[in-house]
Chain A
Amino acid sequence: MSRFIRNPRAQALQGHRAGIVSRALAFAADLGIAFVLATGLFAGVSLLWDLFFSDDLGVPRPAGGVSATVIFVILVLTLGLGWGSTGRSIGKQLVGLRVVRADAAPLEPGQAYLRAILCALVPIGLLLALFDRRNRSVQDVLCKTVVVYDWVPEVAHVPVSRPQSGQPGA
């Protein structure tokens, strides 16, 4: 039993190329998650450092370049991991989007990380989706990828399989 999408128009658009608003929000969510993760990482490392090598505990204020680099790396890692496995990063899963190849096959890891780097470096490339006839961003054109609406993940389609035990009492 799979999850049921009430809106018939939305149901019909499942598997179609997504528009710019959804994709921008998904990227924003991914960026926010990367920011939170980076902050947590800084705080944790700083706390451990202070515990062993310093007398007082303080909130770190890393240089802008360091912070941006860490956020960039975390963003690329999380995006690449998500897109290279199920095609969904956390932000895309939230909005109900999925990245696949133009032939509808899952992304290869190299393709996924290249797309992640391009997205993290030039997020403004998404603006092309507003004008492209096929809703492609610059990254999509370069990596030959497609972003589709797919609200229901595979796990919600597949029934949980249980080992078939013999009839009790038989």
Chain B
Amino acid sequence: MPIAPVPPVVVPPAAPGVFDLVARGARVGVDAAGLLAAEVADATVRIARAVLPPAVTTGPLEFVGDAVERRRTEARRREAANADATADAVQAVVRRVVELVIDQIDMSALVRRIPIDEVVDQIDIDAIAERIDVDAVVARVDIDAIVARIDVAGIVASMDLGAIVRDSTTGLAGETLDGVRVQLMGLDLLLARLVDRITFRRTPRDTAVPGYDVAGPEIRTPRGLR
């Protein structure tokens, strides 16, 4: 059975946590103490130099001064490094804390507590509008470019102009005509009913025309064009 190659596991460097913060803070404190001790030693050496006769002091004091100087340089270097690391830790911890706090906050409840109406009342829209220079805004709009982007031909092509013209021209005439036609149709039916009554006809008239399509083609095609 083939064994699938296992992808190498990459462990991301963990962000500095609270423990790092404490440890680094302590280190900064130790370094500060070391620096202080070095300063004290340095001051002591200088006082000794001034007070004691040079013949006695030169050799041992220079040895001590060199040692103190070395110690101080080392402490300064470590202090800088530790301060940077501590700053990183502080940042990370603060970020974590802020995230936690934000997670805990019920935003909608918070928003609900904001008196929107009062806030809106305080805003003077008119004053804001007065400060807007409409002419300048309009002047910056390139109307020609906008018009150039409108596809007038496409709009016209998408409209059924023929139908619009036809509807608007036949509409009124058609309505009037239909009014007269309805009256005539009513008279047709009335007269037919009257005659049927007089002639004692029992069955109603058969006015249906089987196969007639009202919407069908009307124009007879001459034989030569068929």
Contact = CB atoms under 8 A, between A and B. Distances in A.
Our verdict on whether A and B bind, yes or no, reads: yes
Contacts of B220: 84-87, 106-108
Interface in A1-26: 1-3, 5-7, 9-10, 13-22, 25
Interface in A83-116: 84-88, 94-96, 98, 100, 102-104, 106-108
B59 interface: no
B187 A19 contact: yes
Interface residues of A, number: 57
Dominant SS among interface residues on chain A: loop
B2 interface: no
Contact of A154 (B205, B210, B212, B217): B217
A58 interface: no
Interface string B191-202: 110010001010
Interface stretch (A36-44, A46-54, A67-75, A131-139): A131-139
B178 A151 contact: yes
Contacts of A2: 215
Nearest to B153: A168
Interface of A: 1-3, 5-7, 9-10, 13-22, 25, 84-88, 94-96, 98, 100, 102-104, 106-108, 130-131, 133-135, 146, 148-154, 156-157, 159-160, 162, 165, 167-169
Interface of B: 151, 153-154, 157, 160, 162-163, 166-167, 170-171, 174-175, 177-178, 181-182, 184-185, 187-189, 191-192, 195, 199, 201, 203, 205-220
Given A19-B188, A160-B162, A165 B157 contact: yes
B133 to A, nearest CB: 36
Contacts, number: 134
Q: Which 9 A-B pairs have the closest CB atoms?
A: A19-B188, A160-B162, A106-B220, A17-B207, A104-B211, A21-B187, A154-B218, A104-B212, A16-B207
A156 B184 contact: no
A108 B217 CA distance: 15
Contacts of A159: 160, 162-163
Contacts of A9: 185
Given A3-B170, A16-B207, A87 B182 contact: no
Contact of B178 (A5, A108, A169): A5
